[in-house]
Structure 1
Amino acid sequence: MTLNIETARHAMIEQQIRPWDVTDMRVLGALAAVPRERFVPELHKALAFADTALPIGHGERMLKPVLEGRLLQALELQPNDEVLVIGTGSGFLTACVATLARAVTSIDRHADFLDAAKAKLAALDLNNVRFEQADAMAFRPNQQFDAILVTGAVAEAPDAFGHWLRDGGRLVLVRGLSPVQETVRITRERDAFRTDSIFETDIPYLAGAEPVEKFAL
């Protein structure tokens, strides 16, 4: 069984993630080191390494491995970084970020997601993460960050997210209208922000950040 899991993990990285332009060796190393199968709901264990999004409860989904890899790479994390993860979900991306950065704050609206992620990271001796139950749209952090990862899409990037960055900090999020959304990296340059388009995708919206319906007369 262990051999089969390791074979599947290797195939996920070499056949799914690396061919999709994920070449950062630290990111690939994190994806290999964090046991994704431990973060997948029991009902879907057989699909832990499949190229598909997986339901995790509360109508939310664990992203495809290729998306996880590209989002992590877009963050350009450094070993000394302090990072905010908006949307803990399964906890897998938070665990990967924790292996790449010095300190992580991970927030989610759902207490059960946070409790499960906290236990899983503790079992992996990843003790550099602070979990907080919070709604991202009302969150008020008491610090700024070197990098911020948003794990759900937003119709428009909230201005507040950018102001939580330190100078030189990077915010990676998916924005726009489904089914054609754009992954961007927003870099703070003192009081200005530079936006780089990374790739197109389509993922579920972060709660509270969905498009506003427009009514035509």
Structure 2
Amino acid sequence: MPRKRGSRGSTSRSQLIEETLISLDRSRGPLFLEKDATAEGYRPDGQRDPVRCRRGENKMRISEVEAIDIARAFSEKPHLKGKEGEVLQRVGRSLSFIGDTSRPQRFDCPLLEDGKCMVHRIAKPIECLAELPDGSFSAEGRRSLERRDQLNGDLFAGRWEFKAIPLMLAHYMMDREGPANGKSGSTLRKEQKRNQSRRSTRSHDPRQGSGPVR
């Protein structure tokens, strides 16, 4: 996994990570719309069948950017605060029998709680969201997966890893001095939308006159 960087260039690096997380979150939008439009085979809440998230069937892997997004969500989302320890305990149990490899491995997803994904609407891995009930992917799903790979390649200069969820979370959720320190993509994207809305409102405010908004 990429080494930590020093303070030199850290601001621009932080901005790049934030832009990447915003783009990743934007990639989830069409997939949620697809689920809403195709109710057949999905639970009413849009979640995956929890059986597919357990060791018997689950081999899900995630990328570095997705792991960063999940780790950030646990540090700043109110409903997830205090649950990081529980997730890491489940991660630890999985690490006792899976290997440090990029190949697919079976494990219980540590993000599954009471039959639901803890990060479903805020930092869900793209493949978990894109996979259709029959295990295939739609054209929209494939585009989102390609976009995820591109974002990782751009951020890590082509040197990024794709491993089982417990392996990736163990690295990033326990590294609070690295890129996992900050706001998640969903939070950053909401803030971006609010700022754009404010600028748009001000630009149409007759009290501002015809000149540029300052």
Using the size of structure 2 for normalisation, the TM-score is 0.29
Q: Which has the higher helix share?
A: 2
Higher relative contact order (CA 8 A, sep 6+): 2
Scaled by the length of structure 1, the TM-score of the pair is 0.29
Q: Which is greater in Rg?
A: 2
As a proportion of its length, which structure holds more strand?
A: 1
